[in-house]
Structure 1
Amino acid sequence: MTAPKSLCVVSQPPNADQRVPVRISRELRAIAADEERGYRSIACSIDLLRQAGYLTDDGAFDPARTARALMQVGAANLSVGRLWEGHINALHLIRLYGTGDLKTSMNRRIEKGALLGVWGADAEVPVTLDAFDTHLNGRKNFTSGLETVTHAIVTVNSGRDVRLALIDVTDTARADPSTWDMQGMQATASGAYDFTGLSADRIEWVGSPGDYLKEPRFVGGVWRIAALQAGAAAGLLDMAATELRTAGRMNAEAQQSRLISVLMRVWAGMALTERAADATIDREIAPEDIVATSIAARLFTEEVGLDAIRAVEQSIGLRHFEAGSETGRMARDLAVYLRQAARDAFLQRAARTAVGEDGRIWGVFG
């Protein structure tokens, strides 16, 4: 695989605290609407992150630093953030469970332009190995990054026997973008991917059966989703404030109170997310406490995101719903992204941990 032709040029490397340079954030935001309309490929934005060195970090060394970077990218361009989070997740799984040869080869592939993803949502026919272990059957839904993601970690089989397969997904004949009929996150180029008939010889297995579900790496990693949700909520509020200032409407006390009330909760969600990220590398914290805190961050930032959408609708008014509205596009993207899977199950699991035993409410804060 050869490196893709550079679509965007970046002169600034990542700085010490892993904050995304202001120039990159501005560029990601500037081209976000174009990407939704197909004027520029999502690969342009990914190229910005690649050139700046962000595709080689899986977040394991300093998760809180990675959380802050995800927040900033989510604020600027949530679709790009979604793809980058998938890449981070996939790279982390390879470095956790892959062989030494796989880790080395994947580093080389990323240097040459590979982008990774994690595709775990089965379609009506789940992805499984056939009876002879020679070919795959089934499809995956909600496969983000069609024609941009080059290698996906795909879940094969289910339950305790679930396996992780690293597969080259550049065969466009297997991709079906028509199944993504959502009002938001259009720029992610999501859809379905058919693995039926794919030879097992083309699979690079990652780890052993069941590794994917091990905690606190599995649900304990949803702080990355929380980071994007918090960042996107902050970005939406920021854009609304910009439009209100431009229209001379930001001086109204009602507008200020409405936006700052939500923004304070966004800041709280960011702090909780950073703490959840930090907890994953703290060996003194029990795995289930790590999981509960990560869940709490994910669910809290979901609620804050909904509050941000409502506040912006009230503040901008009818113009928010115009076809070319920037706040409207950002709100649609956020509304779709907030609907992550298993919300109720997550809430119950966190509750069992935090309030199911004496003294557990302190969790990672004890």
Structure 2
Amino acid sequence: MMSSSTRRYAPPCPSLPAALEEFIAPALHQSPHAQLPTVAARLLRQLVVAGLDRLPLPGHGETLARWQALAAVAAQDLSLAKLFEAHTDALAILAEAHAPVPPHSIWGVWCAQGRPGSLHLREQGDQVILDGEKSWCSGAAAVTHALLGHRDEQDRYWLLAIELGQPGVSIIEDDWAAIGMAATRTARLQLRTVTAQVIGGPGFYLDRPGFWQGGIGIAACWHGAATALVSVLRQGLAQRADSHALARLGSALCAGHAAAACLRESAARIDAHPRANAMQDALRTRLTVERACLQIIADLGAALGPHPYCGSRHSARLLADLPVWLRQSHAERDMTALAKASLEEESSPCLL
């Protein structure tokens, strides 16, 4: 199913974020809302063909550059960023598993758990056969391949690669009711005798170092959108002297700076210790960025009123999309897990 191909993941040139912005911004900003799903899918294909998806792998010395690229896409549009982040995450996972990648293939990563018993797996040699449904499949109509996560009856967690074009794969797009992130065309798959390839063996996906490293890439996307909203706030206050609105800008700047510092620190630690368990870094960074995003959204509305929600296509999309994507956070559950992990440490992680 997956032909062999070697992909290079050289560190990008320093101008990669600018190149990504220049590549995608004109088409996004000129597109009516109704055309966004088509535009996002087309831009994703063009990014892959142009080789702009070949980001540095996490833990290879250029992790921050990887996250800067993801943030640059997210600053323009979060639906495209969701698809781009998943595709580049899939490439990193496949590289970690030493698995081949078909040329110009476009990938999704669908590991959210649906209803128990909704998907059934049976082994057949070095492949497996899938029957049932898989929910929460972002970009299903835009990708050629996908990595699916599945926990079986023996509590084994499988990572499976499937080709979307094979018979037996049906894409059902009738579940997504939200305005936010609608351009991802998140769907559910109906699978009937679909062939899948096992990636890395049972347990590989959750046990590898890249699991937590990759989770921070999502926070980089959130931060990219929040940074764009801070820019909207700065521009809106450039000619105003309202002290209350300026105080809100100060609040947003502090929140954004704290999130950026956390991302930079995590990137440096991952590059210094690429095989270490990055769970605490991932939880701390995601929670810090989530809190910063919520603060920035509140500050923007309080300072500028409804205009960012209604008067600008760019900011209106970010404000509709970001709260939806932030709910990928596990909130208090992640806070609890972080707290428990910190209690096992000899010293406080908050020391300078």
- State how far apart, in whole Å, the 2-side matches of 1:232 and 1:161 are: 36
Aligned positions of 1:153-172 closer than 5 A: 153-158=147-152, 160-170=155-165
Matched with 1:129 is: 121
- State how far apart, in whole Å, the 2-side matches of 1:164 and 1:58 are: 22
TM-score (norm: length of structure 2): 0.84
2:202 aligned to which of 203, 209, 228: 209
Matched with 1:45 is: 43
Report the alpha carbon displacement of residue 82 of structure 1 after superposing the two structures with TM.
1.0
The number of residues matched between the two structures is 335
Instruction: Assess, with a 3 A threshold, how the Cα gap between structure 1 residues 69 and 317 changes in structure 2: closer, same or farther.
Output: same
Instruction: Assess, with a 3 A threshold, how the Cα gap between structure 1 residues 334 and 71 changes in structure 2: closer, same or farther.
Output: same
Report the alpha carbon displacement of residue 358 of structure 1 after superposing the two structures with TM.
2.0
2:256 aligned to which of 260, 266, 273: 266
Mean Cα deviation higher: 214-223 or 128-137: 128-137
Q: Tell me, yes or no, if structure 1 residue 115 matches structure 2 residue 111.
A: no
- State how far apart, in whole Å, the 2-side matches of 1:72 and 1:16 are: 14
AA partner of residue 146 (structure 1): A
Instruction: Assess, with a 3 A threshold, how the Cα gap between structure 1 residues 181 and 207 changes in structure 2: closer, same or farther.
Output: same
Q: Is the 8 A contact 1:115 1:151 kept in 2?
A: yes
- State how far apart, in whole Å, the 2-side matches of 1:272 and 1:164 are: 30
Mean Cα deviation higher: 153-162 or 301-310: 153-162
Identity %: 23
- State how far apart, in whole Å, the 2-side matches of 1:90 and 1:257 are: 41
AA partner of residue 268 (structure 1): A
Report the alpha carbon displacement of residue 26 of structure 1 after superposing the two structures with TM.
4.8
AA partner of residue 169 (structure 1): L
AA partner of residue 225 (structure 1): I
Q: Is the 8 A contact 2:113 2:150 kept in 1?
A: no
What do the CA deviations read for 1:222-274 (whole angstroms, capped 9, x no partner)? 210110111110112213433555xx5x4433323312321232122122112
Report the alpha carbon displacement of residue 350 of structure 1 after superposing the two structures with TM.
1.5
Q: Tell me, yes or no, if structure 1 residue 85 matches structure 2 residue 85.
A: yes
Matched with 2:183 is: 187
AA partner of residue 77 (structure 1): D
- State how far apart, in whole Å, the 1-side matches of 2:43 and 2:123 are: 42
Instruction: Assess, with a 3 A threshold, how the Cα gap between structure 1 residues 284 and 58 changes in structure 2: closer, same or farther.
Output: closer
- State how far apart, in whole Å, the 2-side matches of 1:238 and 1:157 are: 42
Report the alpha carbon displacement of residue 160 of structure 1 after superposing the two structures with TM.
4.9
- Give the gaps of 5 or more residues in structure 2: 2-10
Three-state SS of the structure 1 residue aligned to 2:198 is strand
- Give the gaps of 5 or more residues in structure 1: 2-13
2:300 aligned to which of 294, 312, 337: 312
Aligned positions of 1:215-254 closer than 5 A: 215-245=208-238, 248=239, 250-254=240-244
Q: Is the 8 A contact 1:59 1:92 kept in 2?
A: yes
Matched with 1:54 is: 52
More strand as a share of residues: 2
Three-state SS of the structure 2 residue aligned to 1:136 is strand
- State how far apart, in whole Å, the 1-side matches of 2:340 and 2:220 are: 24
Three-state SS of the structure 1 residue aligned to 2:272 is coil
Q: Tell me, yes or no, if structure 1 residue 150 matches structure 2 residue 135.
A: no
Matched with 1:72 is: 72
What do the CA deviations read for 1:283-325 (whole angstroms, capped 9, x no partner)? 38852xx210121110110011111111111122133443865
Q: Is the 8 A contact 2:172 2:188 kept in 1?
A: yes
Instruction: Assess, with a 3 A threshold, how the Cα gap between structure 1 residues 170 and 259 changes in structure 2: closer, same or farther.
Output: farther
Three-state SS of the structure 2 residue aligned to 1:85 is helix
